[in-house]
Structure formats: C-alpha cells, structure tokens
Chains A and B, each alone.
Chain A
C-alpha cells in the first residue's frame, strides 16, 4: 500500500521522466471531468486555478467567508527558490541538499529534488501574476537569507509574502470563477469523504451559513486543507485551522504519516495569560539582525537594558557558531526551551527569551532596521505595548507547522485512489523539520506544478469509468454519519464548552508531545487522552441550533483533534530516535543534541486507522538514499 511510485532514472531526471510518460486527457474530454478541491490556500487555490485553466470543472471549498482568507495569508518571511540571483553558490542540488538535511534525512530524495527543481518557475509565475516582491534599485528581484541555509535564496514581499502570494493565487482562482470553470463554495466545511468502489468520489459539506448538508460528486478529490498545529490550541495558526478534512479521510482509509512531527516556531510571542487564544508569530527574518540571549544568572528579573554584556548568554551563537542566530527552527526552539526550563526564561511568566536589535540598530542605524521590519515592530508593539527599538523583544517557541499529514506517493495521491493531498495537508517534502520559507514554496509547487500533471494522469483512467450520482448509497451512508454526529453534539447535556476541551488537549500535547517527548510522558498522554475523550462525549455543551453556529463547527473539529492527538502520541512513542522536530529525551548526546537512529528508523511511518477501539496499524515506507550520504546534522 505504501508504494511511493518514485520514477526511474537519476535523481535530476526523475520528474522529467514522469512528465514525459504521464497520461494526458484530450482537451475536448476535460470538460467532462469534475474535481473537488477542499481549501483555498496556496495549495488549493493554485491547484484549482491551474486545473481549471486546463479545462476541468472545479468545485472549490473553504470554511472562511472568502477564498482570500486562507491561512497561507499569514506567512511573513518569504519563499525559497534556487534562482541563484545572488551568485552565491546556490543551485537546484544545493537547495535539495539543504532541504533534505534540514529535514534530518527523513524525507524522500525524489520529492525534495522536485521541490527544488520547480522552485524557480514559481517565482516566474508569481511575478507574472503581479506579486510585488522586494526589488533592488536597478529593478531586479531582491533576496535574503533565511534560517538554516548559507545562501540568499529567499524572495519576499516585506513581511507579507504569504498574503501577496495568496492574493496572486486567489485572483487566478477568481479569474476561473468568472470564466465559469470554478464554482466557489465559501463558508462550507467538508465533513465526510465519499468513497465508491474504493475510489474517492465526493464529499459531504456543511453550509456554515444555513447548516444544510450538501452532497458533491466528482471524479477526483483534492484535500489542500492545511496543517493541524491548532491541535495545540495555543499556536501561530488561525482559529479556524483544523484537521477535520484530512482526519475524516484518514478514517475512510487514507494513511497518515509523520504525524508527530510538529514544528515549533522559535520566534513567536510568549503566552501572557489563561484567556489567550493564539500566539502571534514574529517572522523568522528578524533573526537576520536580532541577537538571541538570556541572562546568565537564572531568575534574573532586571530590566534587560541594564544587564551588562558579560552577564548575557547568547546561547545560539555560543553553541552553534557557524549558524548562530540563524540555526534551523527545531534547534533554535529546543535551545530556547532548554534555557527556559533551566530557569533563564524572562518576561512576566518567565517563559520567554530576548531577541535584541540594539547591536543592529547601532551598526546599521534605526532607519535601516525600520525599513526592513517596521510592520513587525509595529505589530509587536500593538500586542505587547513594548517598543522593540528600545527594549529587546520577548519571544518564545510556539506550535506552528505540521510536517506530518496524509501519506502521499510521488503523485501526491493518498492510499485512497483518486484522493490527493497537497501542501501542508500532506507529509511529503519536509521530513522531520521544515526549513524557513519552504512551506509557501511547497504549497505553490504542489498546486501549480505537480498536481496539474499527476491528477490528469489519474483522471485519464476515469474518463470511461461508470458515472455515479449523489443518490448512490455511499452518499446516503456518509450523510447519515455526519447528521448523527451533529445531532449527538446538539443533544449533549454537559456543562463544558468546546474551548474547554480544546485548551485541555492543547496543554496536554505541549507538555507530553511537544518540543521534547519521552516514553513515560507519551504513555501518560495516551491514558489522559482516553479520559478526555470520555469526558468530551458526555460533558460537552453546545448552545444554539443546527443553523449558523460557530460552537457546533468547533465541536466536530475538537472531536477529530482528540483522536488525532492519540495518533500523534502513538507515532512519537513508536519512533525510538530523535530526528528533526521529534526529540525523544532518551535519545540524545551528553550535550543534549539529537541522536538519530538510521539503522532502525530510516523509514516513513504511515498509520492506518483501525477503528476507535483499536490501535492504529503501522506501515513502513523505507527511505532509500541514492544521492546523499546520511550525515549527522550538525550546525555547530
């Protein structure tokens, strides 16, 4: 079942070989084929627009009030591409290598190479769409360097790169709406996947304005519904981000992979109180000029500006001299946790570290720092009330990006034929840790450049397949299951709100399946999740009715999060090694660095759902490295 379908040939030729042989659909036949795309972020919007341009009929779904709101909008720092515009040694191979090393050798060579290979075309396309990337005075595109690499390959649009790329994709999508090739369903949430004769053929969606359940049928279904970092409740994600589309597909037979590989972003704002709903991300680009430090003495609560230089510990510069403040995210986040746990944390809750711009302001001048980061400094002041030109920022690691997701093969198809997963919803390219500015890239490359080859390759075989209707019993059954769950929530006679359970599951995961994990804590977590599930089933209280009701929407998402949390713990427990974002306390060097175990764990863990009462079943997809040597990932 976990055949990755990697094409033949040398690494650099694999994608060309695939494209040369992929099946095509005659232009006249494309209009007979329908595709459902769930999600309108960069992956979903770009895939929907690109397939519509080819002539397929697209039904596009998002839970937000407009396709433009999807959470890709929030990515600040940039998007990587191996253009080598800075002439500083970049190449497709270099980018491939950085990404596979950054992922701690837990991703597929062929996928990662393709990501690097398609990166340049993305920049070309985004510029053609009108994305206003940063420019040099001569008019050429500007680049900066970003966490975890030593070349400047990051393209950016101030601190709003995600928003600008998404507007490009959104406008491309709405252009296809105007041409009649895409039908938009905003404020709709997918609540079930419909599988007919083993193939994905449709979805049940709930109209969030009216509460009506709708049946939608297609020849293929694409899930581009994003990541599930919001399972931690406090995270950098939008409030509505959720795992429901992929989780419900998982329960219908699609495997989940790398489930516990969650990236904690090192530069988010720390928690300040119990009623907080999110942790705002401050772009990692700040680490280009900010220096990270904590007081050398534990529990030092002096004003940071009065702490003399020799009493500060610039621990990233000390521990990782060749990368310093630009060490990759997993390393930086874990190092921060180490300092906080050892009592060096700062701020009112002692849960933060300093990100200090005073040296940069001294050497470059306040004007230059302002030109680069003014929107970030302004945002910081709005939230905290602190002027970061005068005082160091308080930052802290926060749940951010899910490397895990639905298992997909080289064609981005899940274990259910006809069901594709794109962008953060799949597990594919980042291994156990994602490099900064690679997520926008992956979402775009999946949607603009990969799915437009691989989905037609699948659809070519569906052209003459028997056509079904929404009266098929599989639709009846799926709708009945959704209706039953909604009724159960509405009739629940408890006293606790959805947020209560969401906060509980989040706190539990932060403590036991977060920046570091251990057998003991993971086993405890699995027991606690069971109890939480029982409590959720009897103590939940939903007010309002089955029409427009945000509490009812949340209930379904929490139910899925509780089950997903258990799978995350199973995944983390089974993987007895430390790799990337997955740090098992039992597997570390004496100085606290991760110890990977290539002899026993050089595979992708793909999990199969076996029912609520059963343990999930593990399937291993061996990772074969033909072009790179497995190396210890050192940033020292």
Chain B
C-alpha cells in the first residue's frame, strides 16, 4: 500500500464523512417533511450495520466456532440492552476463550 494511496484514501473518507455531517447543520433550519425520505434514512443504520456484520462476523477471528459463539454472546448481551462496550468485550472474550482452548 503506497503512502500516496493511503493519504488519498484517508482524505476521501474524512472529507466525505464531514460533508455528510456538515451539510444539514449548515443548511437545514427546518425539518425534512418528506415521509419516504425520512423513513429511508431511519432504516439505513440498521440495514447497513446488518449487512456489514453478517456473514462477515463469522470469519472475523481465527476460529469460526469462536466467532459464532462470540456472536451469540453479543446478541444475547445486546438483547438485554447492555452498552456498546459490554457487548464488544463479551464477544471478544468468548472468541478468545474458544481460541485459547484450541477449538
């Protein structure tokens, strides 16, 4: 990976991300009234995170079994409304235990 590619990529990510955040803050003083657009934007975070997480999570560690059990732990903790930190550590902890046990 060349340094110029890295810098160009980071600049592209940073400027795009800031642009998305900045635009409504600078322009919108009134709420969007279009119900379809509001609905679309409402679903985006859940859809995008689901698509990114599954099935990639199962191959995110050194062991498919460890990752699967880690995923199960994460879903369980999240179901009981545990915070981001607890869920993330719970998943990694379970994955680590399974890998440590050599499974």
- On whether the two chains bind one another, the answer is no
Which A residues fall within an 8 A CB radius of B? none
Which B residues fall within an 8 A CB radius of A? none
